[in-house]
Structure 1
Amino acid sequence: MSDDSEQTLPRVLIIDDSRMVRASIIRHIRDRFEVREEADGEAGWQTLMVDPTIQAVITDIGMPNLDGYGLLERIRGSRISRINTLPVVVISGDDEPDVRVRAKSAGATDFISKSIGNVELLARLEALTQLARTQRDLEESRAALASASPVDPTSGLATPSYLHYHAAQELSLAQRRHADVSVMVIEIDHFDALVARYGAHVAQLVNRKLSKILATKLRQEDTVAELAPARFAVVSPSTNMDGACAFAMRLRAAFDHIVMTYREERIRIQITIGLAATTPGKVQTVSHLIGVAMERIASGRAAGGNRVIGADGEVTADMIEPPARAPVSIDQILARLRTTGLDANLRKQLPDAIRTLLPLLELIESEIPSGLPLAALARAAETGVNMLQKND
């Protein structure tokens, strides 16, 4: 896979005393898996102890030093979780029922014949490695939740639980301040087809590419989590439907320029985005907003994908007006003001800062009447006039 990612193919350990058998298996799977090989069970066990990147084992039964049954006993009895949970496929020329039963009883995940075709062998290996990876990810996510960590250890994004918790706080705050909150659900188009055509490892690289881009494109106050493979949710405070539409269109356009390659084949990534936003005066939950965004994704998917769907249907570029953009980060502006002072770039952001702060200033004026020049500030935000710029 040609990408800036450091990810590699899943690694499989093949253990068989026949060099020809090992070479045959490697020939079948080398396009989808990295391979290590050993000639007996004892050597295979030592390799498992020192190589934590192995994700599955293919082993023969009859081998010198340590046979397949003994190897299975060691693997399943190991106190190291990454070893005792490994998928182990027994591959044997002896397909007698008692051999199969004994291998299963010893802890074999699967049992296949040495005459198996390469398509079936690949399918079984990919299914087993994907299952093992999912189980590890689930265990790591559970560990993160148990330690009260808001970050998913696999994706580096917020956990879904934290997203719901934090979004509920933002919604409560927005209701008190009469502010907006938007929810964006992003889905990679035709993800199942990617898995079927290129394999699970390539699809995962695409999924991780989207994770990295989201982590760099969002504002500090936004929260993003991976809800499921190929599906992400973003909660944006102080952002109405217009602002969400504008950001979603920019994000979708960014993906139109991304091309990944696999075995000299170009893979284009496209996404469909569903949007939902709070309604003034109406109490709404995070789950409801995500559900609305998911329904809009479904309509975008039915229309062919690569679309942004908002409250009024598909969002197009001509519907986005320049003022309809996400609010700036006041925290970032204040930090820059403290470090660099009021420079030319900061002056250009003042109309956006006014637009972001206006709901709060209106609330302050309603609670504590003090003669704030709200009308003048609103005009400055709309016309782009810099209130602090001195006349020459």
Structure 2
Amino acid sequence: MKVLLVEDSIASLQVTQKFVEEAGHTVITARDGEQGIQQFLAHNPDLVLLDVNMPNMDGYQCAQRIRKNCQQGNLWIPIIFLSAEITEDAIVMGIDSGGDDYLPKPVTQRVLSAKLRAMSRIADMRKELEEASARLKRLSSIDGLTQLYNRRHFDEVLELEWSRAERTQEPLSLILCDIDHFKAFNDNYGHVAGDDALVRTSQTIMHTLQRPTDLAARYGGEEFAIILPATPTVGAMVVAEQMRKAMDTLAIPHHFSNASSIVSMSIGVSSYYPAQANSSFVALLDAADRGLYRAKKNGRNRIEMQPL
């Protein structure tokens, strides 16, 4: 564990630090409440040992400030107060200030070690909970079949990237693509083959994208969407053509398509430039969709760019 020790007495700080380190934990020290808050923000400790009686900002005030930062980060870091006077009023005040426990001063190694073992269990449980929450959040954003992001996550990111483009004055491009005659493929080759084609197409799209900021999503059925931040039209067209050619390399037979003898894609591209007035991410999406419609109408297995 990383333990933040906030103590104004040099003697008490040195003794307590020695006990914590001998228990196998890392210690970050601070000599007053203000420095304690700075160290808390800088190091994100697993536990705070906080002296109550300090000049300028006492332990209760420091705990309240720490709790405000915990709430902003949606975290709960245990706080144990250190005090020579543990009265009923002090305990109530400590709990109301955001503390979780008290240790009497002078601190003994045996009691402190026991408290640290308990706090270690809490830290382990918190870590497991955070990891489970992260896995759950990821699962809620991922399409189960293709492992691309799902439509809900795509919508959220598109709105965020639109706001970023407006703020940074950089272009934002969007690609919509659709597997040509996918219903005929499913009807004639079966749904297992159809699912396999979707998975392989998704992998091909992901391998085409070069930057971690680019995002690919399954937009619905056999339709895919790609967000390209800080990318002008010419760059988006290059990516779209790379995707179309990659499908040729994939070479999944499709003898029931009038666009190609293999599985192919029709692609619509649109780009937003911050200088354009009266635009929105909805308008960008609509423009890419119109480009996709034109690609289908003009023979499929092609790319069409649609201005906003």
TM-score by length of 2: 0.50
User: More relative contact order in 1 or in 2 (CA 8 Å, sep 6+)?
Assistant: 2
TM-score by length of 1: 0.40
- When Rg is computed on C-alpha atoms for both structures, the one with the higher figure is 2
